[in-house]
Amino acid sequence: MSAALTSDKEEKEWNFRKTTQRLIMLKTKVESVRKVAALDVLTNLSISVNIPEEFAMADLATDKEYLATLKVYTSKDLKGVDEEFINFFDTVDVDQNIEDFIKAYWVYPNKIRFELVEVEEP
């Protein structure tokens, strides 16, 4: 299963940071807003994952583990971000660890976005 890229408008508001594979367990899904709550198995932290329109949400089962390919984005709007964390969001040419993005999501959930690209059963 795979999905298309984000829209031009969204790309202007968000910085693409990396594409990565993670073992996740889907906990809940909300088809009306095209999001799922997923538990990252390695960090044991929950994240919200956007599901592009082209992706069939019916193909995703809750309480099931998937090897997911995710795109990670950070917001270009840094209002409300503590000064000591500005570089984390603003420096896009540094390859940061995915665990750092997952942990930062817990502090700034509206500044980090995860988008599902592809899933497969582990």
Residue spans per domain, the chain: 8-120
What pLDDT, on the 0 to 100 scale, is given for residue 85?
87
What pLDDT, on the 0 to 100 scale, is given for residue 84?
86
Task: Please list the alpha-helical segments (H only) found in the chain.
Answer: 8-13, 86-90, 98-107
**What distance in Å separates the CA atoms of residue 50 and residue 35, rounded to the nearest whole number?**
5
Which tokens hold the place of 80? 């409300």
Q: What is the residue type of 100?
A: D
Q: What is the residue type of 38?
A: A
**Architecture per CATH, 8-120:** Beta Barrel (2.40)
Counting Cα atoms < 13 Å in the Cβ hemisphere of 55 gives 26
Query: What averages of pLDDT result for each successive group of 10 residues across the chain (122 residues)?
Result: 48 89 97 97 97 93 97 94 86 82 95 96 87
Task: Give Cβ neighbours of residue 79 (< 8 Å, ≥ 6 apart).
Answer: none
